Structure 1
Amino acid sequence: MDSSSSQKGSLLSQPKAVWAVGFACIIAFMGIGLVDPILPAIAEKMNASQSQVTLLFTSYNIVMAVAMLITGVVSSRLGTKWTLLCGIIIIAVFASLGGASNSIWALVGLRGGWGLGNALFVATALSAIVSLSRAGTAQAIILYEAAIGLGISVGPLLGGELGSISWRGPFYGVGVLMVVAFIFLLVMMPKTKQMTKAKSSILDPFRALKYRGLSTLGITALLYNFGFFTLLAYAPFVMQLKERGLGYVFLGWGLLLAVTSVFVAPQLQRRFGTISSMCAMLTLFAATLLAMGIWTSSKAVVIISVIIAGAFLGNNNTLITTAVMQAAPVERPTASAAYSFLRFLGGAIAPWLAGKLAEWFNPHVPFIVGGCFVLVSVLFVLMNRNHLKHIDHADPAH
């Protein structure tokens, strides 16, 4: 049997705990896409401006960024399983309360609580899948990205259907799905050993950032997330579609993201190397955002660009996540927390900035600024390429 076929076999031959976490990841990431199609409806029903509605992403991401710093501390004390379960139940509670809220500011605050739950879940889920997998780091990350892609692609479709009934529907939908994920994980996932031998410190992620490879990737993600969250949070306002239509657009986006993250990214990695492939995908994503900025008034261009961007983001997500796991000689949960802290800082600023730029100037500017930030991320990688050489030379299967 050749190595490629053995790798394919090993990808599907996983412990029960890996499949349990993967299923919970699908449901957790459905929660993100579930809300996206109802952003314009929230603005209309609550008499809120676009920049106020985009704060739903800002509060979510800023809490996630800060909470990432404590995920290692929590998981090293509670263990992997109970950290995941705590994250899920927090999401369920705050999503359900969001569905019952009657003001945009209450909703913004509750989304922050949702971000806390997501931080505990996301950081722990990635390191759990990588640690528990029998197939090595690269294959485990492909499984993780596949779960994300499935969740992100199906979420908007369900969100569009529920949102066409009421904007509150997707929030309650997330609450119900999280309860399902909680029960599934509680029953299916065995108690796991601590992922770290010693209890983690809140300072560990900051110490990890002294490694230039990890800090370079974190700052790169901070910059490219300006583009990512401009597309996610602001594009629904210029597509001029109802909730169901937005759901189908982001379904296409998510499907391309899922397919490329699983099937295309590993091929690019083997043929061109992790860092070169990442730079190429980010450059194509920047070009897509700039096209959206130039032809913002064309509904067809914006819709097609959003869907195509899913391919570039799917490839990049797998490539950069693989690189982070190999970037520094620190434990995986610590590397993930340090990287995610920087990444979500970009995701916190970008949505609010996109809404404000549209109010200050015109609807074209948010996409152009987002595209420029993504181009800067590529330049930053190229300037620091010497600190990333070891990633291309590493064996991604280990």
Structure 2
Amino acid sequence: MNKMLLTVLSVVVLDAAGTGLVMPILPELLQSVAHTPELGWRFGAFLSLYAALQFLASPIPGTLSDVYGRRPVLLVSLAGGMIDYAFMALAPGFWWLFLGRAFAGLTAANAAVAAACLTDIMPEERRARAFGLLSACFGIGFILGPVIGGMLGTISLRAPFIAAALLVMANFIIALIVLPETRTAKPERIDPAAFHPLAPLRWIGAFPALLPLLVLSIILSIVGEVGGTIWVLYGQDKFGWDTATVGLSLAGFGFFHALAQAFVAGPLSERWGERFALIVAIVCDSAAYIAIAFATRGFVAFLLFPLFCLGGIGQPALLSLMTKRVGADEQGRLQGVLTSLASLASMVAPLAISEIYFASRHVFPGLVWILGAFLYLLCIPVLFAHRRQAYELPGGVKCRQGEQP
């Protein structure tokens, strides 16, 4: 199990490093190929396109990984990532970038398959810690990727994309040679309806006990898109960061994110429960959003990293809660559902966030951060509903939050 765990985590590290490599220079690349300093809708549309195609394809990887295994699905996803970065490295025009991004969205399944792999090999009582390690490894990749990408970006706008393509290729080779298949028991047949893009939404209706948690997951995903959409733009506009400083800021975020996920997420959930971890995450993230909205100096953003990263412990806790409430045969499908919902949020949120930001950047650029913090208020009734809800566990056993099945 340790060998499989280390292999899955190494794949996540390399994948995150590849993603982090391109983030510091993505706005500049889009400005360069679009031949305009004002990105406007283009930036949000570029981010949303990936999520839109991922939403359409998300039921397929999770269902196929349940039937045919995690390994082949992960390999196809990594191959799609290589093509995406190659397109961005060589694209002569704006729409070529969109084409490569669309292909990557269709084949994206790395996070969902990695989470399903961990579910296969980890017992229930250790899943929160395992998911925390998964997020920590993503943070480690983000320590390395943005620093290298920021430095390479000062040489050439295309260099980070070439480096990212090489990293994903290394990721592909590791998975091909080292990663074993973690899914041993497989369903006898596959339901054709499971491949429909709206299939996860129909599947959700069969498990009403999951609804409060899924609503919470959507809210966390939407709020999380604020930083993912405007961090680079906000740092450049308000604090005057150059490409190298943006890379350092993303690396710093990755460092504290890794610490929080490795040493806080799992232990906090195991000691006080996943619901308490969610409350801590929401409070910390809200405080960080409000603080950075009114910050006037760039070093304040660096000082807020611990709060931002404590805000990130909510997703592993939430994921741990949900995996306990579906059977082993449907863990891959659950990951597909979560990916689908996150992609649905990512389709709409970047467009809205970028439009709000570009409309308010010259008056109050921190407005979108404030709106993100206030969105967390919607979590309060969901958390109370979850506290009262009786859950139907696999096998027909009912229990409430804090009780053992």
Does TM-score exceed 0.5, indicating one fold?
A: yes
1:214 aligns with 2:210: yes
Whole-angstrom CA distance in 2 between matches of 1:361 and 1:128: 43
The residue number in structure 2 matching 1:114 is: 104
Q: 1:195 to 1:104 in 2, by over 3 A?
A: farther
The residue number in structure 2 matching 1:233 is: 229
1:382 aligns with 2:371: no
Alignment gaps of 5+ in structure 1: 1-13
Q: 1:387 to 1:343 in 2, by over 3 A?
A: farther
Is the Cα–Cα contact under 8 Å of residues 127 and 336 in structure 1 kept in the other structure? yes
Q: 1:179 to 1:298 in 2, by over 3 A?
A: same
Greater alpha carbon shift after TM alignment, 87-96 vs 41-50: 41-50
Any idea what the Cα deviations from partners look like across 1:5-30, whole Å, max 9, x if unmatched? xxxxxxxxx34333222211111122
Superposition deviation, residue 82 in structure 1: 0.9
Match of 1:145, SS?
helix
Superposition deviation, residue 393 in structure 1: 3.1
Greater alpha carbon shift after TM alignment, 206-215 vs 175-184: 206-215
Q: After the TM superposition, which residues 158-307 of structure 1 pair with which residues of structure 2 at under 5 Å, given as runs?
A: 158-194=148-184, 196-201=186-191, 202-203=193-194, 205-210=200-205, 211-240=207-236, 241-295=241-295, 297-305=296-304, 307=305
Superposition deviation, residue 92 in structure 1: 0.6
Q: After the TM superposition, which residues 127-166 of structure 1 pair with which residues of structure 2 at under 5 Å, given as runs?
A: 127-133=116-122, 136-166=126-156
Any idea what the Cα deviations from partners look like across 1:341-368, whole Å, max 9, x if unmatched? 1122222222221110123333222212
Whole-angstrom CA distance in 1 between matches of 2:121 and 2:346: 29
Superposition deviation, residue 181 in structure 1: 1.1
Whole-angstrom CA distance in 2 between matches of 1:199 and 1:72: 15
Whole-angstrom CA distance in 2 between matches of 1:208 and 1:158: 42
Whole-angstrom CA distance in 1 between matches of 2:122 and 2:270: 21
Is the Cα–Cα contact under 8 Å of residues 29 and 155 in structure 1 kept in the other structure? yes
Superposition CA RMSD, Å: 2.6
Q: 1:271 to 1:74 in 2, by over 3 A?
A: closer
Percent sequence identity over aligned pairs:
21
The residue number in structure 2 matching 1:338 is: 337
Whole-angstrom CA distance in 2 between matches of 1:239 and 1:35: 16
Whole-angstrom CA distance in 1 between matches of 2:113 and 2:142: 19
Superposition deviation, residue 289 in structure 1: 1.2
Whole-angstrom CA distance in 1 between matches of 2:334 and 2:51: 18
Is the Cα–Cα contact under 8 Å of residues 142 and 254 in structure 2 kept in the other structure? yes
1:24 aligns with 2:11: yes
Whole-angstrom CA distance in 1 between matches of 2:154 and 2:75: 31
Q: 1:339 to 1:164 in 2, by over 3 A?
A: same
Is the Cα–Cα contact under 8 Å of residues 90 and 113 in structure 1 kept in the other structure? yes
Greater alpha carbon shift after TM alignment, 56-65 vs 138-147: 138-147
The code of the aligned residue for 1:45 comes to S
Is the Cα–Cα contact under 8 Å of residues 128 and 269 in structure 2 kept in the other structure? no
TM-score (norm 2): 0.85
The residue number in structure 2 matching 1:312 is: 310
The code of the aligned residue for 1:174 comes to A
TM-score (norm 1): 0.86
The code of the aligned residue for 2:372 comes to G
Q: 1:207 to 1:158 in 2, by over 3 A?
A: same
Superposition deviation, residue 37 in structure 1: 1.0
Whole-angstrom CA distance in 2 between matches of 1:386 and 1:328: 19
Match of 1:209, SS?
helix
Match of 2:26 among 22, 39, 46: 39
Greater alpha carbon shift after TM alignment, 363-372 vs 187-196: 187-196
Match of 1:196, SS?
coil
Greater alpha carbon shift after TM alignment, 83-92 vs 198-207: 198-207
Whole-angstrom CA distance in 1 between matches of 2:108 and 2:137: 15
